[in-house]
């Protein structure tokens, strides 16, 4: 990011989007939010974050970039507007792909180290309070340009899990964040990158600059909503790569934000599978929760290129699940919710592991899975 991007990105925080169409399908009212109602200025926070990304841009280290200034304090952060808590049902499809909402990019920040395979970015989007969502939902993004399969028509919508709480990274209900890995194609014969086959939307997002416009639809999704009827529930969260996005939102709500009517007293247990240490996402945030809430948060990592499983093979997330299988099964029997998010290819290995463990325990996995689904304890979103 260039130094000239500082003023653009900071200005994007408070930009008023021209699309003021009323949210006739929503009960959310956000228009009276004041930046001064929070314990610090959103502008200063944004500028601090952007300046940090500029400083770090040319010196990626073996740790991920810290995405939250608030991590320096163990006290919880005030959020507003509190009426985002009032709705009984999640907002759904407030904007359709053909009538997408025009939002603006606030910041794009690389969040993996130099030795990570590929590039992953944390992208903050300003929706000015007009596109509210709940934790676990997704936005649709329509990249600019024509659809190559339908000349003259726009690109198809791409869905991305939202990586922030309903209050956004600046705690004012006006932004949403995405965690996006740049999809790049390399020709198997030449070994060279072929830009014509690169992921259209992921590259658009990762190449975006502060102030750029972005077309968004949604929000969508009910499967991954965080159940809050029992504040003492157990939540087992399993992710590969950018599948950690919804859990980042969950954990900020559980441990970072001061939400008046929701005080979490249960257990959140995150399993994250990535290639190596440099590929860990939001590791600073998660590590701080471990320090501040050791009784309520557990965090296990599976680093496939750095660790071995018990048979000497690569350590994948299903190997970590097997390692703690007795405890996990007991928690599920006691009503725990279990979530899976990431690449579709993660599920067969996980399902095979769970089935094998169930059989070793003398249980029928098919029967157990059916019961988990019936009890609404089983949440899956893969792509």
d(Cα 70, Cα 368) in Å, to the nearest integer? Answer: 41
To which residue do tokens 């929706």 refer? Answer: 127
Among 185, 186, 262, 383, the active-site one is 383
Among 107, 138, 161, 279, the active-site one is 161
Among 95, 101, 160, 316, the active-site one is 160
Is position 305 annotated in a ligand binding site? yes
Cβ neighbourhood burial of 25 (10 Å; 0-12, 13-18, 19+) = exposed
Tell me if residue 381 is catalytic.
Answer: yes
Tell me if residue 383 is catalytic.
Answer: yes
Q: In degrees to the nearest 10, what's the CA dihedral of 161, 260, 35, 209?
A: -10
Is position 202 annotated in a ligand binding site? no
Is position 343 annotated in a ligand binding site? yes
Tell me if residue 206 is catalytic.
Answer: no
Tell me if residue 32 is catalytic.
Answer: no
d(Cα 14, Cα 26) in Å, to the nearest integer? Answer: 22
Tell me if residue 250 is catalytic.
Answer: no
Q: Are 154 and 234 in contact (CB under 8 A)?
A: no
Among 135, 285, 322, 381, the active-site one is 381
Q: How many residues does the chain have?
A: 383
Strand partners, 176: 125
Among 121, 179, 201, 341, the active-site one is 341
Is position 381 annotated in a ligand binding site? yes
Cβ neighbourhood burial of 126 (10 Å; 0-12, 13-18, 19+) = buried
Is position 189 annotated in a ligand binding site? no
Is position 356 annotated in a ligand binding site? no
Q: Are strands 146-147 and 150-154 parallel, antiparallel or unpaired?
A: antiparallel
Which residues make up each annotated binding site for NADP(+)? 161, 181, 242, 304-305, 314, 342-343, 381
Which residues belong to the active site? 160-161, 341, 381, 383
Which residues make up each annotated binding site? 161, 181, 242, 304-305, 314, 342-343, 381
């Amino acid at each position: 990011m260039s130094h000239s991007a500082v003023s653009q990105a900071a200005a994007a925080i408070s930009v008023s989007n021209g699309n003021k169409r009323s949210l006739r399908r929503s009960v959310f009212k956000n228009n009276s939010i004041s930046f001064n109602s929070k314990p610090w200025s959103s502008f200063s926070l944004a500028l601090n974050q952007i300046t940090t990304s500029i400083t770090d841009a040319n010196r990626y280290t073996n740790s991920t970039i810290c995405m939250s200034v608030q991590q320096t304090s163990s006290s919880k952060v005030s959020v507003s507007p509190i009426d985002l808590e009032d709705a009984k049902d999640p907002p759904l499809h407030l904007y359709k792909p053909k009538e997408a909402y025009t939002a603006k990019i606030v910041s794009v920040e690389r969040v993996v180290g130099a030795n990570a395979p590929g590039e992953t970015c944390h992208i903050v989007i300003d929706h000015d309070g007009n596109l509210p969502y709940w934790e676990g939902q997704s936005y649709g993004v329509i990249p600019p340009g024509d659809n190559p399969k339908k000349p003259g028509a726009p690109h198809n919508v791409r869905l991305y899990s939202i990586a922030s709480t309903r209050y956004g990274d600046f705690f004012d209900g006006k932004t949403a964040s995405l965690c996006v890995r740049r999809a790049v194609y390399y020709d198997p014969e030449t070994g060279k990158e072929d830009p014509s086959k690169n992921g259209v939307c992921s590259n658009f997002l990762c190449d975006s600059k502060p102030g750029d416009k972005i077309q968004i639809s949604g929000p969508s999704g009910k499967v991954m909503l965080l159940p809050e009827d029992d504040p003492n529930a157990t939540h087992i969260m399993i992710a590969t790569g950018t599948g950690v996005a919804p859990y980042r939102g969950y954990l900020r709500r559980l441990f970072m934000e001061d939400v008046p009517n929701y005080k979490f007293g249960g257990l959140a247990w995150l399993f994250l599978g990535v290639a190596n240490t440099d590929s860990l996402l939001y590791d600073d945030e998660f590590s701080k929760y471990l320090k501040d809430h050791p009784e309520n948060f557990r965090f296990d990592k599976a680093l496939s290129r750095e660790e071995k499983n018990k048979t000497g093979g690569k350590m994948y997330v299903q190997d970590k699940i097997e390692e703690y299988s007795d405890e996990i099964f007991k928690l599920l029997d006691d009503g725990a919710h279990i979530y899976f998010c990431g690449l579709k290819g993660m599920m067969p290995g996980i399902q095979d592991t769970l089935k094998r463990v169930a059989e070793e325990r003398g249980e029928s996995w098919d029967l157990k899975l059916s019961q988990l689904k019936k009890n609404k304890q089983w949440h899956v979103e893969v792509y």
